Amino acid sequence: MRLIRAKVFLVAQGVFLLGLAALLGVVRPTSARLMAALPNFCGTLVPPNDGLPELPASDLFTLMDALGPALAARQQNAALPHPVATVCVARAWGRGEWALIALRTLDARGASQDELALAYRARGTWAIAFPETLYYIEWLNAIPRDLLPQTMKAVTAHPTAPADPSQGEYALPYLAGTGALTVRAGVDHDNAIDFSMPSGTPVLAARSGRIEQIVQGNDLCGCSPLFALYNNYVVIDHGDGERSYYLHIATNSVPPDLHEGSFVERGTLIALSGAVGYTCSLVGEGCGPHLHFEVRRQGARIRPRFVETAADILSWQVYTSTNVLALRSLAAPYGRPVTGDFNGDGRADLAVFMEASSSWYVAASAGDGLSAYRGWLGGLPGSPPLIGEGPGERSAPLAGDFDGDGRTDVGLFYAGNGTAFVARSTGQGFTGYALWLADPDAGRAGPPLVGDFNGDRRADLALPQPDGTWAVAASTGRHFDLPAFAPDPPLLQRRSGIGGEGDWNRWFAADMDADGRADLVAYSAESGDWEVALSQGTRFAPPARWITQFGNGSSAQLVGDFNGDGRADAATFASYYGDWWVALSDGRRLLPPTQWLTRLGVGMSDQFAADFNGDGRADAAAFQAQTGVLDVAISNGWVFRFPARWLYGYLTPAVVSQD
């Protein structure tokens, strides 16, 4: 049966007919003739005189004029479990920019059901949303509560697919530990969930399937239902009648190797979150970045059956008083990144430490990009206990070739009691943590630096002392010796009036003179001074100033061998314009700095200097801890060039079992 667009005729207070006049051949019907022509299933679904505001006649006619083509287009919608063959409009009401339309549908099999269509008017034009429309739930949440009928619930599920729990298990559509938090979903029949998260957060396939639809070219957003027409989204067909929907994704954020028809595994990065479409800020005005996630079976929204684990979900609550569904993720810190050659192939890789679970994820370099993150070490069992007064007692994660096998290992250091744990690299994962140092005095003055200070090709720990000197705990390949030597005279003594509270601001370990031993480097933000104490293998030489007034006002400072001569150089990064300046080392001093790059790393949380392509020169890189994105610019010995995105963000891989 074909639906033909027709005019709308007023037949009684609040009762309208659309399409039936044309279908029945009635050209100029009277009210009596139309009422006589009504099928017996088309009655008043919402009783009159229930307090719902009737629309003015002028609004009714413009609304019905927009409804006709919307219904015709709906009949051609292949996503519906069956085409809507006949429609009776039983009533319409509303106020201002909102209108609600009570419908009764009849499909080709003769099955009927009652539905509630929503309409929003902007600049004199009505837009229509049916229950299967992607933004229907968002509109329903925005409609004033007094416009919703008390005697009728909006039907969002077809009778053939009741809104029961899903058949498959769905993972959270983002990486646990990235700080995402879900907020309200809607009324009691609404199984959609809004995950509040910063723009650029990786959106992951919650379940394996084939990408059915990608819309990512829109870039408009606003706290108005009109903007729902300009949404970006991805739809994944899971092959068993269920589909998952991911809305409000950032413009053109789907990885270039994915397209409609691509098969994706659960945990695959499919987009970055954004604020495109109808999104409202929770604080003040403007757009509100979040991810709208829902699962449907044969067009009906169903509650997803999540894989709930302690590491992923803190609580799942249904607030019956307000019919709000809330899902809260573990509010863990963002990933803490380190670089190193973890698989021993001569190229720097990226490792991210998730503090909530003491887990490590590694993205290996292929020379022109990084692989997807892969779990190299899970948390419990095998994680060191949280020692001290709390997680704050732990320093930043450690990375270095502690056993001298050519592969970078990882570790954790607890300043509260001077303990260090190391997990050695096997090239494909990290072994379980082992205790390598236990010295109550080791961490009294702060976290250690990692470097091969004695030149035996094993990374050691340099430990700051309360008197401003440094001591070294040398690696034996199986543990760190207790600090065996302390410098005399004191090295890099903290000086009054330098760097804020009298301290140097940054400390580094790097081979500045190409003798195979890591040296100590100190930087003062106030003066721009860089001082170096060269390692002599058993002690550090007295410090010397290598450059002054370099890096004043910079956002980050780095060391690395940028020109490949075997000597570590110094670099600074300014976040406002993404400027990178480099001062090359000649083994005795740092030469006058020059600008090597601009526009890399703006808005990113971390900066790195590491040899990602294995050519012997350290490259410039910028990392975003919230999203796991990494941008890299390659060094050619005098500038950084070809800045590009080498890693698109976090994935949710299976964690490698421990030895």
Predicted confidence (pLDDT) at residue 377 exceeds the cutoff of 60: yes
Q: Which of these ranges, 308-322, 391-405, 474-488, has the smallest mean pLDDT?
A: 308-322
Predicted confidence (pLDDT) at residue 327 exceeds the cutoff of 60: no
Between 544 and 323, name the one with better pLDDT.
544
Summarize the confidence of residues 58-69 as an average pLDDT. 83
Confidence bin at 627 (pLDDT 50/70/90): low
Q: What is the per-residue pLDDT for 359?
A: 73
Q: What is the tens place of the pLDDT at every residue in 89-124?
A: 777 888 888 998 877 766 555 555 667 788 988 778
Predicted confidence (pLDDT) at residue 385 exceeds the cutoff of 70: no
Between 323 and 540, name the one with better pLDDT.
540
Predicted confidence (pLDDT) at residue 603 exceeds the cutoff of 60: yes
Confidence bin at 133 (pLDDT 50/70/90): confident
Summarize the confidence of residues 545-554 as an average pLDDT. 93
Summarize the confidence of residues 590-599 as an average pLDDT. 96
Helix (H, G, I), strand (E, B) or coil at 18: coil
Top mean-pLDDT range of 384-388, 464-468, 490-494, 614-618: 614-618
Q: What is the per-residue pLDDT for 445?
A: 77
Alpha-helical runs (H) found in 445-597: none
Top mean-pLDDT range of 122-131, 326-335, 525-534, 622-631: 525-534
Q: Which of these ranges, 79-83, 122-126, 333-337, 508-512, has the smallest mean pLDDT?
A: 79-83
Residue 279 CA: distances (Å) to CA of 139, 224, 326:
11, 8, 18
**How far apart (Å, rounded) are the C-alpha atoms in residues 448 and 606?**
19
Write out the two tokens for 474. 């040398």
Q: Which of these ranges, 241-245, 391-395, 434-438, 653-657, has the smallest mean pLDDT?
A: 653-657
Predicted confidence (pLDDT) at residue 517 exceeds the cutoff of 50: yes
What's the mean per-residue pLDDT of the chain? 74
Q: What is the per-residue pLDDT for 475?
A: 95
**How far apart (Å, rounded) are the C-alpha atoms in residues 236 and 316?**
24
Q: Tell me, which fold does domain 176-306 have in CATH?
A: Glucose Permease (Domain IIA) (2.70.70)
Q: Residue 531's closest CA among 613, 486, 588, 584?
A: 588
The answer to pTM > 0.85 is: no
Between 552 and 163, name the one with better pLDDT.
552
Predicted confidence (pLDDT) at residue 21 exceeds the cutoff of 60: no
CATH class of segment(s) 45-137: alpha beta
Q: Which of these ranges, 326-335, 437-446, 516-525, has the smallest mean pLDDT?
A: 326-335
Share of the chain above pLDDT 70, in %: 68
Q: What is the per-residue pLDDT for 177?
A: 47
Summarize the confidence of residues 311-330 as an average pLDDT. 30
**How far apart (Å, rounded) are the C-alpha atoms in residues 450 and 339?**
12
Q: Which of these ranges, 182-196, 312-326, 361-375, has the smallest mean pLDDT?
A: 312-326
Predicted confidence (pLDDT) at residue 374 exceeds the cutoff of 70: yes
Q: What is the tens place of the pLDDT at every residue in 244-299?
A: 999 999 899 999 889 999 999 888 889 988 889 888 754 445 677 788 888 888 77
Vertex 386 angle, CA 380 and 387, to 5°: 140
Q: What is the per-residue pLDDT for 386?
A: 42
Q: What is the tens place of the pLDDT at every residue in 433-459?
A: 888 988 877 777 778 999 999 999 999
Share of the chain above pLDDT 90, in %: 32
3-state SS string over 399-447? EECCCCCCCCEEEEEECCCCEEEEECECCCCECCCEEEEECCCCCCCCC
Q: Where are the domains of the chain?
A: 45-137, 176-306, 502-658
Top mean-pLDDT range of 76-85, 384-393, 576-585: 576-585
Contact between residue 318 and residue 184 where contact means Cβ atoms under 8 Å apart: no
Top mean-pLDDT range of 367-371, 380-384, 464-468, 650-654: 367-371
Q: What is the per-residue pLDDT for 373?
A: 77
Between 422 and 496, name the one with better pLDDT.
422
Summarize the confidence of residues 336-363 as an average pLDDT. 86
Predicted confidence (pLDDT) at residue 499 exceeds the cutoff of 50: no
Q: What is the per-residue pLDDT for 22?
A: 41
Confidence bin at 221 (pLDDT 50/70/90): confident
Predicted confidence (pLDDT) at residue 146 exceeds the cutoff of 60: yes
Q: Which of these ranges, 61-70, 144-153, 363-372, has the smallest mean pLDDT?
A: 144-153
3-state SS string over 306-340? ECCCCCCEEEEEEECCCCEEEEEECCCCCCEEEEE
Between 519 and 204, name the one with better pLDDT.
519
> For residue 46, how many C-alpha atoms fall within 13 Å in the half-sphere facing its CB?
29
Q: What is the per-residue pLDDT for 328?
A: 30
Predicted confidence (pLDDT) at residue 310 exceeds the cutoff of 50: no
Q: Residue 363's closest CA among 397, 337, 333, 401?
A: 337
Q: What is the per-residue pLDDT for 344?
A: 97
Q: Residue 236's closest CA among 269, 264, 277, 194?
A: 264
The single-letter code of the amino acid at 132 is: E
Q: What is the per-residue pLDDT for 579?
A: 93
Summarize the confidence of residues 42-52 as an average pLDDT. 55
Q: What is the per-residue pLDDT for 50?
A: 63
69: DSSP letter: H
